[in-house]
């Protein structure tokens, strides 16, 4: 049985690695698939097949084959807000919950333990520098040296909804945003140049009343300032001078004017990044890519316009994982996209009640081949079977040579 299990595993691995170029692929439903939006999604920076998803039921699910199969690795009662892999410490992953504190894993999400010092907190976002991790919570910013033990580090009277590390070397420079509009109007950001020991506030010249996303990119070839993206409830903005000035990326024929809840840079490329929106219920969401520092954008035409979560692998031609949501029928769906730079192609299957975990029967006999064809996995199964056939042939040849 162990031998055949190895052969099956080899076939599945081949299937997972065979994502078509620039084509949306429907992933398997999660165990106990929720009928609520998924906001917590992460992919290992070292292995694009290791994916973690947290849901509103407090469940963390893990895949080691790019979403072909899932295993529940933690059950809880507090909804999962965010799942974030450390880009600097191998295996370190943090998960923040709504009112239940945070959890830490040191083995790429296989096992989890409670993070000390965040008990009862609504942990909404994490950011990493080389020697410190920071968490944005309903009671300000917390910091940790190892991800396991945390302390309060300022802005305790603010609910922090966005957080980024602008400088990762000591002393780390952090920037934070809130979803509590100031009474005086405008949008306020907070900055620390001493790893969250002290904070100052500033009001940038950008539109919006709440900060929905902050992300800092890698250093450009010239200079020592990382690009900073700020998503608000009314647009996306970029700064190249640590937040002194901002350039609007939305409106004016670039990106649509909507709320932006997701943004991610590509590995070591300061000028290549992705931004996404769930549309705020307006139907104006989507996913876009820029390869020239925001001078232009291309839509990646996701299968559903409401993109609620985004994770980008560390490959030069990355795998994008997204979660989408249809409010009309409460279907949350997971997708993968191997971005090789081509024109995005439509999904091999249309999201359906089956994809959300509620299987239906339309009458008549439905074969396994029918199900595979409808799910869009048939080409991958063929590739997996082909690899299995080659493996079996090699084994047979080896045995023949051994007993001659």
Task: List, for residues 201-240, the tens digit of each pLDDT value.
Answer: 999 999 999 999 999 999 999 989 999 999 999 999 999 9
Least confident range from 52-56, 246-250, 319-323, 356-360: namely: 356-360
Least confident range from 48-57, 155-164, 187-196, 323-332: namely: 323-332
H-helix or E-strand spanning residue 237: strand 235-239
Q: Contact at 8 Å (CB) between 331 and 346?
A: no
Whether the per-residue pLDDT at 388 is higher than 80: the answer is no
What are the helix and strand counts (H, E) for the chain?
A: 3, 28
pLDDT in the model for residue 17: 52
Residues 6 or more apart whose CB falls under 8 angstroms from that of 310 comprise: 41, 262, 263, 264, 274, 276, 287, 320, 321, 322
- Decide which of 2.40.50.140, 2.130.10.10, 3.30.70.580, 1.10.1660.10 is the CATH code for 23-357: 2.130.10.10
Rg (CA), the chain: 22
Residue in this structure with the two tokens 């923040």, named with its chain if needed? 96
Sign of CA dihedral 51, 54, 55, 61: positive
Whether the per-residue pLDDT at 391 is higher than 90: the answer is no
Tally of CB atoms within 10 A around 361: 6
pLDDT in the model for residue 352: 31
Structure tokens at 178: 């809130």
Residue in this structure with the two tokens 């290549």, named with its chain if needed? 272
Domain extents in the chain: 23-357
pLDDT in the model for residue 14: 33
pLDDT tens, 239-256? 999 999 999 999 888 999
pLDDT in the model for residue 348: 54
Least confident range from 56-60, 178-182, 211-215: namely: 178-182
Class of residue 67 by CB neighbours under 10 A (exposed 0-12, middle 13-18, buried 19+): buried
Structure tokens at 265: 């840079």
């Amino acid at each position: 049985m162990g031998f055949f299990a190895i052969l099956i595993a080899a076939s599945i691995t081949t299937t997972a690695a065979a994502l078509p170029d620039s084509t949306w692929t429907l992933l398997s439903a999660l165990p106990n698939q929720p009928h609520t939006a998924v906001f917590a999604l992460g992919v290992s920076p070292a292995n694009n097949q290791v994916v973690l998803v947290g849901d509103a039921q407090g469940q963390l699910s893990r895949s080691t084959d790019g979403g072909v199969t899932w295993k529940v690795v933690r059950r809880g009662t507090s909804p999962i807000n965010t799942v974030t892999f450390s880009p600097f410490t191998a295996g370190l992953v943090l998960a923040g919950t709504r009112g239940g504190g945070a959890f830490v894993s040191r083995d790429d999400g296989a096992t989890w333990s409670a993070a000390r010092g965040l008990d009862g907190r609504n942990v909404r976002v994490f950011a990493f520098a080389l020697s410190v991790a920071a968490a944005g919570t309903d009671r300000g910013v917390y910091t940790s040296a190892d991800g396991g033990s945390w302390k309060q580090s300022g802005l305790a009277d603010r609910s922090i909804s966005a957080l980024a590390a602008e400088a990762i070397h000591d002393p780390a420079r952090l920037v934070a945003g809130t979803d509590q509009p100031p009474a005086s109007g405008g949008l306020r950001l907070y900055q620390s140049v001493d790893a969250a020991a002290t904070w100052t506030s500033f009001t940038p010249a950008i539109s919006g009343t709440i900060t929905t996303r902050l992300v800092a990119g890698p250093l450009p070839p010239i200079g020592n300032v990382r690009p900073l993206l700020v998503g608000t409830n009314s647009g996306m903005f970029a700064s190249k001078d640590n937040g002194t000035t901002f350039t609007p990326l939305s409106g004016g024929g670039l990106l649509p004017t909507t709320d932006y809840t997701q943004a991610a840079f590509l590995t070591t490329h300061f000028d290549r990044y992705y931004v996404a929106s769930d549309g705020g219920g307006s139907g104006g969401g989507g996913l876009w890519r820029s390869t020239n520092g925001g001078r232009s954008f291309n839509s990646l035409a996701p299968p559903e316009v409401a993109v609620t979560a985004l994770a980008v692998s560390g490959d030069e031609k990355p795998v994008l994982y997204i979660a989408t949501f249809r409010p009309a029928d409460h279907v949350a769906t997971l997708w993968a996209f191997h971005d090789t730079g081509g024109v995005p192609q439509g999904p091999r299957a249309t999201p359906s009640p089956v994809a959300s975990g509620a299987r239906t029967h339309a009458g008549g006999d439905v074969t396994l081949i029918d199900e595979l064809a409808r799910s869009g996995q048939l080409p991958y199964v063929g590739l997996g079977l082909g690899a299995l056939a080659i493996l079996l042939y090699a084994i047979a040849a080896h045995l023949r040579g051994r007993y001659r």
